[in-house]
Structure formats: structure tokens, C-alpha cells
């Protein structure tokens, strides 16, 4: 990893931790059935109470938690062993690609089916898009050097 890639990896790591924390917060609310602090009105509650937020019985934030946890682990491992650098970066790209597909699907579900926007889901969606973009930039830098 060169300096630019190291910086990008740090940013992805921090964004993934932020995503993980948001996911844990929303997940505990789903599991304990408690209210969510929400700046988008009653959107978070509408999303939490909708059956669409439990695909295959799994609460949506649980999928977010697992995805972000993978990203945290993969970005961390990149600092430990340079030998698997390319594989790890491919893993991050794979995870981020799944992430943006998932958040795009869920944002569509929120807007058109649930008809409510959860602030945390929206932030997480943007977060995942940024991670995806940074991963692509990191790959591009890697190819140049």
C-alpha cells in the first residue's frame, strides 16, 4: 500500500466503524422494540414497524452490522499483512458492491413501499456509496503504481 492507499484505507475503516455503530444502534431498537431518535419525523418508526424491514425474518440493520463488520475486519487486515493486499481489496470491493445494491434496494423500499424515510438508513446508504467510491479509487491508484 502506498501513502494514498493507506489514507483511503484509514477513511474506509473509520466510515465502516461509523456504519457499524449506526447499525448496532438501530438493531438494538429493532430487537428491543424501542423508539429510535429520528430527525426525519416518524420515518424511523414506520420503517421499524414495517414487515418489509425484516427480509427473510432478518432485521435490516443486522445485515448492515454484518456488512460493516466485514469491512472493518478487511480494512484492518490490510494493515497486518501486505501479502494478501490485492485479495483483501477485492474482498472490500465485493462487500461494498453488495452494500450499495442492498442500500439502493432498501432506499427504494422505504420511499415507495413503506413510504417513510429512516434517517439512519439514509446516512448509512450514503456512507456505503462513499466506501464503494473510495474502494474504486484505491484500486485505480494501485493499478497506476
Residues interacting with another protein, by CB under 8 A?
A: 6, 10, 13-14, 17, 21, 24, 28, 32-36, 38, 41-42, 44-46, 49, 72, 75-76, 79-80
Least separation in angstroms between residue 1's CB and another protein is 8
Which DSSP string do the residues of 12-25 spell out, in sequence order? HHHHHHHHHHHHHH
Chain-centroid distance of CA 133 in Å reads 13
Least separation in angstroms between residue 101's CB and another protein is 27
Least separation in angstroms between residue 48's CB and another protein is 9
Question: Considering beta carbons, is residue 21 or 113 the nearer one to another protein?
Answer: 21
Contacts of 91 (CB under 8 A, 6+ apart): 70, 74
Question: Considering beta carbons, is residue 32 or 143 the nearer one to another protein?
Answer: 32
Least separation in angstroms between residue 44's CB and another protein is 8
Contacts of 79 (CB under 8 A, 6+ apart): 9
Kindly give the residue spans of alpha helices, DSSP state H, lying in the chain.
3-32, 43-49, 60-80, 85-108, 119-144
Question: Considering beta carbons, is residue 36 or 128 the nearer one to another protein?
Answer: 36
Amino acid at each position: 500500500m502506498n501513502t494514498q492507499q493507506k489514507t483511503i484505507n484509514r477513511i474506509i475503516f473509520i466510515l465502516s466503524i461509523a456504519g457499524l455503530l449506526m447499525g448496532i444502534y438501530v438493531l438494538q431498537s429493532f430487537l428491543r422494540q424501542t423508539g429510535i431518535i429520528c430527525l426525519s419525523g416518524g420515518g424511523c418508526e414506520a420503517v421499524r414497524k414495517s414487515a418489509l424491514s425484516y427480509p427473510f425474518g432478518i432485521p435490516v440493520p443486522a445485515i448492515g452490522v454484518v456488512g460493516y463488520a466485514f469491512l472493518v475486519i478487511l480494512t484492518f487486515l490490510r494493515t497486518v499483512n501486505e501479502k494478501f493486499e490485492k485479495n483483501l481489496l477485492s474482498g472490500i470491493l465485493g462487500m461494498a458492491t453488495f452494500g450499495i445494491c442492498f442500500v439502493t434496494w432498501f432506499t427504494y423500499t422505504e420511499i415507495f413501499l413503506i413510504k417513510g424515510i429512516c434517517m439512519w438508513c439514509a446516512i448509512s446508504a450514503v456512507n456505503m456509496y462513499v466506501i464503494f467510491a473510495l474502494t474504486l479509487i484505491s484500486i485505480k491508484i494501485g493499478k497506476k503504481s
